A and B are shown apart, each in its own frame.
Chain A
Amino acid sequence: MVECLSCGRRQEPRLICADCGTPLSAALDSFAALGFPRKLSIDLAALERSYHELSRKIHPDRFASREVAIRDASLRATALLTRSYRTLRDPTLRGLYWLELIGEKLAENNKRVPTELAELVFEVQEQLAGMQDAPGDSDAARELASDVVKRRGELQATMDETVAELERNFIQWDQRSPGIAENDRAKLTTELKAILSKIAYLRTLIRDVDRALENSKAA
């Protein structure tokens, strides 16, 4: 239970006092903060509308002349809201947050390359090394660079496919929750973790490619 600092009403944890509309400093999960059910598939336009509507009500700009305690509650409630919105808006962050909610997490120090990416990773690293060794202003260097640009496009396509895979996993969770069977849960969790590590790996790879391209442009 939380108590409203303005009217004193005690209530279930929420962002805004049910009686007087004052922001409450409460611990809420990201779905609850935005007033969304705990479902992984989210209508992003509706999410944004809810975020804007709630921001209008609780943002510190609305309480600039109130007493310190209420300004502080508004600050904390808004910080929670913006953080929650940022988490839910991005499918990858949403997936990671889901793992956290169900008491799981991606193994830290997850250095092993996902098997289906192994070949691709090897090829990209070869290419980047080749581009680094080639003399800056030569036909060979330009050819290698244009290959890397092409590769960048392929990597992005793989990333898009993987995010689509993630969205399919989300739908599966939503169809089975609440009351998901234990073996379904284990299967979906394993799949979700695999997809998320693949995304994390692809992201690093794309970043390395972008950096290499940036450096070759600068050279």
Chain B
Amino acid sequence: MARIFGIDLGTTNSLIAAMENGAPRVIASRETGEALLPSVVAIAPDGTVTVGERAIEMEPHLTHERDGKISAVGYPGGEYGAVIRSVKRYMGLGGDELAPEDRARYTFADLSGPVVRFQIGKRVFTPSQISAEILRALKDSAERALADGEKVERVVITVPAYFNDGQRQATKDAGRLAGLEVVRLVNEPTAASLAYGLNKLATGNVAVYDFGGGTFDISILSIKEGIFEVLATNGDTHLGGDDIDRAIVEWLLNGLPETVKLDRHVWNSVRMAAEDAKKRLSDFAETEIVIELPRHTIRKHLTRDSLEQMAEPLIARTLKRCELALADAKLKAGDIEAIVMVGGSTRMPLVRRQLATMFHREPLCSINPDQVVALGAAVQASVLMGNQGDMLLLDVVPLSLGIETMGGVMERLIHRNTTIPTSVTEGFTTAVDNQTHVDIHVLQGERELAKDCRSLARFKLGPIQAQPAGVPRIEVTFLIDANGILNVNARDERTGREHSVDVKPSYGLTDEEIERMLEEAIDLGEQDLEERLLISSRNDAEQILGALGKQLGEYGALVDADERARMDEVAERLEAARRGTDRELIAKLVEGLNEITTPFAERIMDAAIKLALEKKSVAELS
């Protein structure tokens, strides 16, 4: 059976992982050796998409020319092309839900619709489409790194535990748009517990504190004989390391004119400097920040103490969420036997200190906090393939689900922290004679009034046979699946007939819109594919030429003149071909060069083994 892969689609970085010989491993890029793909997507005015480290270079920022002049480079947005970072913050958001500071960062198309849309060049992109580019980049990168032409087709994608229905749906849509089958959405903290749980946590209560770039989650789990049961979860989908960066940016820009503050080139340069400073202060007590702007120079000294003062209110908010989750789990801090740390923001010493104080024990951070979610996703993928024996994850729905009743009150049907999948059946009837439809408004949230909860969907039951008020009986089943996504169906209680339910999501994309985007993607896809194959063969060429150069430098003595001449000839032809666009020629030459150099590679291997046996270094030999 084809392998299922685990993907952590993060606010700041994304990763892909899979099980290998019983252990989860991240799949690093073959070209760069990096496992983390920055979740940054650059879209040029002509629509060309770049993802990752190279997209960061295209972010609007200020640069120093050699003559000392400072100039603005990168795509600043709108018709000039844009670079989107932290797209996860926008997943599932409606136009009216955008914060004012977000509106200043990017150029958006019409904000009256149910989905936020970025305006880039002449095209508009939904957050799901941008996320799909990240997923596609991960898929391509993994496929280049995998042996035997293995394909990435079926995946588990992680989401913040506190993601609502719309945010989850948007993530699933992104997977579909990237041509992936999303077998399951898994909550990030739960995934992390699986990564630790494989051998480090046998049984007991565990708290997973997941403080990432853009989101915060806390989950409390009970682990018993391979069953990972989430007892409670809480969080904030708009609280993360980004917010600490923003606080530093505010401080750095303090006193400068508004026009300078709002300039996207300036803002982004300052943001990068702020992020660097924050990271440095995890290891050092103080740091110097210098940013040269066209008419100003920002030069400030930041100590860890003052950074902690800025971060403290944000961390206090996370601790409050921890208390709420503990109360929902009906546990006390002392009942927690292990605290698992997830997300780059947990590297801050302040976070670790405060958690140690709250739980009276040192948090666990033996697995890289940037990788642990992807590793856990790979474990869950393995569970889904039936390879993990008795291991089973029982997760919960993070927010209550209900319907609007008379007077605009939210009636809860499924309470938060209910184990999923779960369902509830509710009876509906008509209020006036001969009513043919019943309108139902589905909500998600913890507030008493419908207007304070998030609208999930509206639907109409019917047509109902004309009857006196109160006579028709329609049973509606609200079912939340293992992904935490709502499904609705309705049945006439007397006739037993299924009613079709046309659920109109309040936010997000309709099925028709997804279909249209998929069609567009297929049109562009064939062109993309040819281009991707070319890039991939160029990468192969670069790699083999680079490796050969290095080997000839170190072990040149192992090649005779005749052999050397043959190698040089093919290498030169490949060098020329890789600058062109003839993909098949490049591939043929790579293969040819590979063949000629195989005996040489074998000799190097022999020499290396001999060296290892004699425990001598190259230096000693020469």
List residues of A whose CB falls within 8 A of some B CB. Answer: 52, 55-56, 59-62, 64-65, 75-76, 78-80, 82-83, 85-86
Contact = CB atoms under 8 A, between A and B. Distances in A.
A75 B225 contact: no
B393 A61 contact: yes
A109 B251 CA distance: 55
Contacts of A79: 420-423, 479-480
A65 B383 CA distance: 11
B385 interface: yes
Given A56-B227, A75-B481, A76-B479, A61 B418 contact: no
Contacts of A83: 422-424
B482 interface: yes
Contacts of B1: 65
B422 A75 contact: no
Contact of A61 (B224, B383, B424): B383
Given A59-B482, A76-B423, A82-B421, 17 more contacts: A55-B227, A55-B392, A60-B481, A61-B184, A61-B380, A61-B482, A64-B384, A64-B385, A65-B384, A65-B385, A65-B386, A76-B479, A79-B420, A79-B479, A82-B418, A82-B420, A83-B423
A86 to B, nearest CB: 6
B423 A80 contact: yes
Given A52-B227, A56-B390, A65-B385, A78 B184 contact: no
Contacts of B383: 61
Contacts of A80: 423
Contacts of B227: 52, 55-56
A64 to B, nearest CB: 4
Interface of B: 1, 4, 183-184, 224-225, 227, 380, 383-386, 390, 392-394, 418-424, 479-482
Contacts of A75: 421, 479, 481-482
A52 B224 contact: yes
A55 B394 CA distance: 9
List 3 tightest A-B contacts by C-beta distance, closest first. A79-B423, A64-B384, A79-B421
B396 to A, nearest CB: 10
A64 B422 contact: no
B419 A86 contact: yes
B423 A60 contact: no
16 contacts: A52-B225, A52-B227, A55-B394, A61-B392, A61-B393, A64-B4, A64-B183, A64-B385, A65-B1, A65-B385, A79-B422, A79-B479, A82-B419, A82-B420, A82-B421, A83-B424
A62 B389 CA distance: 10
Contacts of A55: 227, 392, 394
A83 B477 CA distance: 13
A61 B421 contact: no
A80 B420 CA distance: 10
A85 B420 CA distance: 12
A161 B316 CA distance: 37
A65 B482 CA distance: 14
Contacts of B392: 52, 55-56, 59, 61
Contacts of A59: 392, 394, 482
B482 A60 contact: yes
A65 B154 CA distance: 10
Contacts of B386: 62, 65
Nearest to B184: A64
Contacts of A65: 1, 384-386
Contacts of B422: 79, 82-83, 86
Contacts of A78: 421, 482
B2 to A, nearest CB: 9
B488 to A, nearest CB: 13
A56 B479 CA distance: 20
A86 B415 CA distance: 11
Contacts of A76: 423, 479
